[in-house]
Chain A
Amino acid sequence: MSRLQTTFDALKQQQRKALIPFITAGDPSQKMTVPMMHGLVAAGADVIELGVPFSDPMADGPVIQRASERALKQGMSLRGVLGMVAEFRQQNTTTPVVLMGYGNPIEAMGWSEFAQRCEAVGVDGVLTVDFPPEESHDAFEHLQRHNIAPIFLLAPTTNEARIKQVAKLARGYVYYVSLKGVTGSGSIDLSAIEEKMPQLRKHIQLPIGVGFGIRDAATAKAVAKLCDGVVVGSRIVQEVENSTEQNVVANVSQLVAELRQAINN
Chain B
Amino acid sequence: MTYNFPNISGHFGQFGGSYMAETLVPAVEELTAQYMRFKDDAEFKAELAYELKHYVGRPSPIYHAKRLSEHLGGAQIYLKREDLNHTGAHKINSAMGQALLAKRMGKKRVIAETGAGMHGVATATVAARFGMECIVYMGAEDIQRQAPNVFRMKLLGATVVPVESGSKTLKDACNEAIRDWVTNVESTFYIFGTAAGPHPYPMMVRDFQCVIGNEAKVQMPEMIGRQPDAVIACVGGGSNAIGLFNPYIEIPEVKIIGVEAGGYGIASGKHAAPLTANAKVGVLHGNRVNLMQDENGQIIETHSISAGLDYPGVGPEHCLLKEIGRAQYVAINDDEAIAAFDALCRFEGIIPALESSHALAHAIKIAPTLAKEKVLLVNLSGRGDKDMNTVAKLKGITL
Contact = CB atoms under 8 A, between A and B. Distances in A.
B21 A153 contact: yes
Interface string A105-137: 111110000000000000000000111101100
Nearest to B296: A77
Contacts of A131: 19, 283
Contacts of B262: none
A162 interface: yes
Contacts of A185: 183
Given A105-B297, A108-B295, A182 B25 contact: no
A61 interface: yes
B212 to A, nearest CB: 30
B8 to A, nearest CB: 11
Contacts of A132: 18-22, 25
Contact of B165 (A65, A72, A159): A65
Interface stretch (A11-19, A50-58, A188-196, A214-222): A50-58
A129 B20 CA distance: 8
Interface stretch (B50-58, B284-292, B331-339, B360-368): B284-292
Interface residues of A, number: 43
Contacts of A107: 281-283, 297
B26 interface: yes
A56 B293 CA distance: 11
Contacts, number: 122
Contacts of A202: none
B27 A157 contact: yes
Nearest to A186: B183
Nearest to B26: A157
Contacts of B300: 55
Given A78-B296, A104-B297, A182 B179 contact: yes
B389 interface: no
B135 interface: no
14 contacts: A57-B175, A59-B182, A104-B284, A104-B299, A108-B280, A108-B293, A108-B295, A108-B296, A132-B22, A134-B17, A135-B17, A157-B23, A177-B23, A180-B182
Contacts of A88: none
B179 A58 contact: yes
Contacts of A109: 297
A57 B25 CA distance: 17
Contacts of A186: 183
A77 B295 CA distance: 10
Nearest to A154: B22
B178 interface: yes
A83 interface: no
Contacts of A106: 297
Interface centre among B166, B281, B284, B297 (most CB of A within 10 A): B297
A78 B298 CA distance: 10
A103 B21 CA distance: 11
A56 B282 contact: no
Contacts of A134: 9, 17-18, 25
A151 B64 CA distance: 58
A181 interface: yes
Contact of B175 (A58, A69, A162): A58
Contacts of B17: 134-135
Interface string B178-208: 1100111110000000000000000000000
A226 interface: no
A201 interface: no
B171 interface: yes
A135 B296 contact: no
A69 B25 CA distance: 26
Interface string B273-313: 00000001111111000010101111110000000000000
B310 to A, nearest CB: 15
Contact of B22 (A55, A79, A152): A152
Given A56-B166, A134-B18, A162-B25, 4 more contacts: A58-B21, A78-B296, A180-B183, A180-B186
B179 A105 contact: no
B166 to A, nearest CB: 7
Contact of B299 (A56, A162, A180, A182): A56
Contacts of B165: 62, 65, 69
Contacts of A65: 165
B156 to A, nearest CB: 27
A22 to B, nearest CB: 15
Contacts of B24: 157
